Amino acid sequence: MHTSLLKQVYDTEAFRKKGHELIDQLADHLEDKLQQKSGNAIHWNEPEKELTFWETFLEKGDKNELFSEITKRTTYIHHPHYIGHQVTPTAPMTALTGMISSLLNNGMAVYEMGMSPSAIERVVTDVLCKKIGYDTNSGGFITSGGTLANLTALLTARKVSIDADIWNQGSTQQLGIMVSEQAHYCVDRAAKIMGLGEQGIIKIPTTTDFRMNTALLEDKYTEAQQKGIHIFAIIGSAPSTATGMFDDLQKIADFAKSKKLWFHIDGAHGGAAIFSPKYKTLLKGIDEADSVVIDGHKMMMMPALTTALLYKKSAHTNVTFSQKADYLLSESELEDWCNSGKKTFECTKTMMSIHWFTLLKLYGEDVFDAYVTHLFDLGAQFAKIIKRHSKFEIAVTPMSNIVCFKYVDKHASLEAQNKQNETIRQALLVDGEFYIVQTKLRGVHYLRVTVMNPFTTEVHFKNLLDKICKLADTV
């Protein structure tokens, strides 16, 4: 009985048939969303109702409808009305590479368990290092997400910068990092995992435009030193999540150099601008960073999760999880570029590198320029429309495709306006025609969009604002 069930699981003809059906279904889904044939970006369902649906489906649902039900009951990232979180509408070809990875299941911890994805990972990370402006001593790897990549980079920073074997022996010394108060929360999380505590996270206040106030660095550093905190790293946000504003990386690089700190850049969102001749100036100073994180699943059209962690010195890729007291590696270990598990937090990982390589091979580097440049342009375009509209106020002129704005009722108190914007956003979610998100900045409740779909246009932006005005009259 067991064998016949297992034979059913591995029935290649059933896979072929279902696979063809699925590709047809997904292509129809794509066409429907990209061409906006159906109106909504989401069909909102309360969590409890959704749970009941799936509990019932497991018992009584028609298995022929399984894939279509899953697809239908999601947020439609490929719809031009999806302008919410920083999640990319995947390039369809990377859904195919995702399928290759899932089926072949080459985990890559050791070269023998993934020859092509391991070598491909080297090719891809070399391309990225070159684009950053690093020399041939650089190198990197691909790991599961920006959160993990930032943690990994900070662990490397500690290993390289602190003259003690903390990895093996722990530490009682109070260590610290410097980071903008607007940085993504995963940096805080990484610092706490590393045992730095709240006191070890030196938050640098931001300027009125939400960028790290680099004029305060010297004082903040001295203050921390006086408290006995040994700062070993500084992190630049490129950009920060809530507002999409880029820190002045060159200033941070200069400061890091003057204090001999590890300089890390969280470029999870905007690091991809290394491919954009128009916008790469936002990353000025990136080539001086010791490490850089770039997410493929944010601004590079790849499925989640896939993140590149690039180091100015490729030797540093091997030190983070080294079980040895001394991080300086022997020649043979340095050459051991192909056993990815030594360098990453993960043991087994998916064949992520093939998404990057496939896009490069099929469309060339220009595809990343086309995507990033167009979306950053759209961010600027949306900001202009908001600024011209009397009922809206923008939080800050955007530097990227992230735009924060609010509906304004001039006669209402700040508290009432905050409540109104929160209610508008909830009404938008339930309505489902557009999907946008929200954030709070210095006590003000803002609506927040990230333009992720290259087919979102000025008309969609205007329709969104019209819709908000109508909702504001009713909420």
Contacts with ligand PLP, residue ranges (CB under 6 A) = 86, 145-147, 184, 186, 237, 241, 266, 268-269, 295, 305, 307
The amino acid that residue 124 corresponds to is V
Residues 85-119 as b/e (b if ≥16 CB within 10 A, e otherwise) read: bbbbbbbebbeebbebbeeeebbbbebebbeebbe
Shortest reach from residue 140's CB to ligand PLP, in Å? 16
Determine the 3-state secondary structure of 440 from DSSP: strand
d(CA 424, CA 468): 7
Q: Could you write out the DSSP letters of every residue in 70-134?
A: HHHTSB-TTSTTB--SS-----HHHHHHHHHHHHH----SSGGG-HHHHHHHHHHHHHHHHHHT-
Closer residue to ligand PLP, CB minimum distance, 140 or 146: 146
By the 8 A CB rule, do 315 and 334 touch? Answer: yes
Instruction: Give the dihedral sign, CA 70/74/77/79.
Output: positive
* Nearest by Cα to 65 from 3, 21, 12, 14: 21
Closer residue to ligand PLP, CB minimum distance, 187 or 229: 187
Closer residue to ligand PLP, CB minimum distance, 229 or 399: 399
Closer residue to ligand PLP, CB minimum distance, 160 or 186: 186
By the 8 A CB rule, do 309 and 153 touch? Answer: yes
Shortest reach from residue 148's CB to ligand PLP, in Å? 7
Closer residue to ligand PLP, CB minimum distance, 211 or 389: 211
Closer residue to ligand PLP, CB minimum distance, 77 or 224: 77
By the 8 A CB rule, do 191 and 201 touch? Answer: yes
Q: Could you write out the DSSP letters of every residue in 129-150?
A: HHHHT--TT-EEEEES-HHHHH
Shortest reach from residue 324's CB to ligand PLP, in Å? 29
Q: Which residue matches tokens 């300086």? A: 328
Shortest reach from residue 80's CB to ligand PLP, in Å? 21
d(CA 416, CA 131): 48
By the 8 A CB rule, do 32 and 26 touch? Answer: no
* Nearest by Cα to 269 from 281, 283, 257: 283
Shortest reach from residue 299's CB to ligand PLP, in Å? 10
Shortest reach from residue 270's CB to ligand PLP, in Å? 8
Shortest reach from residue 396's CB to ligand PLP, in Å? 16
* Nearest by Cα to 78 from 67, 92, 68: 92
Closer residue to ligand PLP, CB minimum distance, 125 or 420: 125
CA dihedral 451, 456, 457, 461 (to 10 degrees): -60
Determine the 3-state secondary structure of 167 from DSSP: helix
* Nearest by Cα to 238 from 180, 283, 287, 188: 283
Strand 444-450 relative to strand 392-394: parallel, antiparallel, unpaired?
unpaired
Shortest reach from residue 290's CB to ligand PLP, in Å? 17
Shortest reach from residue 18's CB to ligand PLP, in Å? 30
Closer residue to ligand PLP, CB minimum distance, 145 or 379: 145
Shortest reach from residue 271's CB to ligand PLP, in Å? 9
d(CA 245, CA 121): 30
Shortest reach from residue 378's CB to ligand PLP, in Å? 18
Closer residue to ligand PLP, CB minimum distance, 180 or 276: 180
Closer residue to ligand PLP, CB minimum distance, 40 or 94: 94
Closer residue to ligand PLP, CB minimum distance, 94 or 307: 307
